[in-house]
Amino acid sequence: MTTTQPSTADRATSADGRPATGPTGTGSTATLVLGVIVLLGGALLAVLGLALTKPDVQLGERMRPIYVHVPTVSAAYLLFVLNAVGSAMWLWRKSRFWDQLAAAAAEVGLVFLGLTLLTGAFWGRITWGVYWDWDARLTSTLVMFLAYLGYVALRGSILDPTTRATRAAVLGLGSALLIPLVHKSVDWWRSYHQGSTLFGELDPSMGGLQLFTLFLGLTVGMALAGWLLIHRFRVGWLTLQVEEGGLTEAIDARRAEAARASDGTSVGAGPAASVRSDEDPS
Amino acid sequence: MSPGLFWVTVTFAAVLSVTRSAALESEPGVNDAPGCRAWRPAALFLGKALAVAAQLLALEVVLALTMAVLYRTPLSGLALGLATMVTATAGIAAVGTLLAALASSTRGRESLVPLLMLPVLAPVLIGATRHRRGARWLRRNRGLALVALLGVFALSYLMLGALAYRPLMEDS
Amino acid sequence: MSALVAMQQVLAQQITADDPWPLIWVAWVVTFGTFAAYAFVLVRRGRSLSARVAPERRRFLSEGDQDGADHG
């Protein structure tokens, strides 16, 4: 995490009273503070989760991947809910803000869910003896991963921003319909994945420091999700500006060309100019 | 193995069918035709889904009869089997019609449609496959609950598609 | 290829020794490393894109330019 200090990102915010120079990146004072919290919290989490907490009563040392596994899956679920909210709000309000929020939430959520699958595989290997099994919970998590992978792929294959936003919003809502299915799947199909840690009952034998570490992990996970979400939102916003700026430039160039062409005809230029003015009747 | 084969075949057929169904509409000017104006988007979506479902059901009947003969699969639990076929097919048609509309006239839609469809259809396929394991398994394992699940799935995506079709038509 | 086989053998030995620590470390390092890499990519993309956008349009502002995206 040390290489990605957000502090470098922002030296020329509006705070220093120079509106002429915009921000040079996606960082801001808010993300700087959030980033420092994430770094400190992450360091504390590592020390607690890998060293200071005692082995679990039942799981022993195998408890330790859980301290990163549970936060990533919780943040992923939250981000996918946020994606659904952004999708619905785009369809209702047609504000680019909600579309970009949905896009950012899906991509960041995909990173979190991918890590959930990976850490889950390692945990499975040291606990059940296998990296992967077609267990209900595992399968449905993979299904959700693929669903949001499809969402990102769809966004990548549509050029027009408005078409992209509307189609992606519908897909986002369709994928959100899968979330309750995934959550219920443990009850519906036979599963040997343990019950939901976050919303289930807490293990009473869990020590105070273990519980604290688990909740610290959740807090750090949410803060990190927020930090990544803000940066990804701003990247998406900038991309949109570049896309539309490119379009404006193209139109301006076309207009200039047409103007030059009509100037040319008035002086009595060759056939090329008349072809151009035919193309552009305005 | 035959229920898995059956539903995999149906899913591939569905991918082809919905891609064709969406391609018909993406041709320029189709939605401006005078006959189309009279249709509300929701009705248009439901009609397209119904057409896909009819194609799939016809295929399923032929496929089921062929399999019954070739693999000597007993046609036991016929009522529940039919209920599964109808609800699962409704879900597949609804999801497919909606997702193919999302991917229509994009770059690489041939690979995009299966990528979008398969995750969403996974619950349907798992449910439907479980369902065809035989009457005894069904009676012991809440067969009707699974039909209900497939029904809820189909209804959810039919509703989403019917609601979403207007903005989809307006914004593309 | 042989490196992969060697790695698998190392992993297999450690697993048969029933020591969970190697995979615990892998889980934590992969998690932190992926987040670091993703954050790094985002910051870099943000900087290179910022250079291509007019200063006053680099940030989303809740008032004003919000819906005025259709300049074309």
Identify the DSSP state of A189. Answer: S
**DSSP string over A114-147:** HHHHHHHHHHHHHHTS-S----HHHHHHHHHHHH
What are the tokens at A61?
A: 């040392």
What ipTM was predicted for this assembly? 0.87
pTM summary value: 0.81
Q: Measure the CA–CA gap between A113 and A204, rounded to whole angstroms.
A: 28
- Determine the pLDDT at residue A11: 40
Q: Residue written as tokens 């035919």?
A: A278
In whole numbers, what is the pLDDT of chain C averaged over residues? 77
**Chain A window 24-53: which residues touch C at a Cβ cutoff of 8 Å?**
24-27, 42, 46, 49-50
Q: Measure the CA–CA gap between A49 and A45, rounded to whole angstroms.
A: 6
Most confident of A46-60, A88-102, A124-138, B54-68: A88-102
- Determine the pLDDT at residue B126: 75
**Chain A window 61-80: which residues touch C at a Cβ cutoff of 8 Å?**
61-62, 64-65, 68-69, 72
Q: What is the mean pLDDT of residues C17-42?
A: 91
Question: Minimal Cα–Cα distance from A265 to chain C, Å?
Answer: 27
Inter-chain residue contact A157 with B109, CB threshold 8 Å: yes
Q: What is the pLDDT of residues A137-166, one digit of tens each?
A: 788 889 899 999 999 999 999 989 999 999
Q: What is the mean pLDDT of residues B99-105?
A: 91
Residue A220 contacts residue C44 (beta carbons within 8 Å): no
What are the tokens at A77?
A: 């679920």
- Determine the pLDDT at residue B106: 85
Cross-chain CB nearest to A238 (options C20, C58, C69):
C58
- Determine the pLDDT at residue A152: 96
For residue B165, pLDDT over 50 is answered with yes
Residue A4 contacts residue C40 (beta carbons within 8 Å): yes
Q: What is the pLDDT of residues B51-99, one digit of tens each?
A: 999 999 999 999 988 887 887 666 566 777 788 889 999 999 999 999 9
A166 touches chain B (CB under 8 A): yes
Inter-chain residue contact A91 with B164, CB threshold 8 Å: yes
Angle at CA A159, nearest 5°, toward A156 and A164? 70
Q: Which of A1, A92, A38, A35 is nearest to A220 (CA)?
A: A38
Contacts of B165 (CB under 8 A, 6+ apart): B41, B42, B44, B45, B101
Contacts of C72 in chain A (CB under 8 A): 244, 247-248, 251
For residue B138, pLDDT over 50 is answered with no
- Residues of C in CB contact (< 8 Å) with A are 15, 20-21, 23-24, 26-28, 30-32, 34-36, 38-40, 42-43, 45-47, 49-60, 62, 66-67, 69-72
For residue A266, pLDDT over 60 is answered with no
SS3 state at B108: coil
Contacts of A167 in chain B (CB under 8 A): 102, 168, 171-172
Identify the DSSP state of A157. Answer: T
Cross-strand partners of A60: A56
- Determine the pLDDT at residue A197: 54
* pLDDT grade for A82, boundaries at 50, 70 and 90: very high
Q: What is the largest CA-CA distance in chain C?
A: 65
Residue C19 contacts residue A212 (beta carbons within 8 Å): no
Inter-chain residue contact C55 with A224, CB threshold 8 Å: no
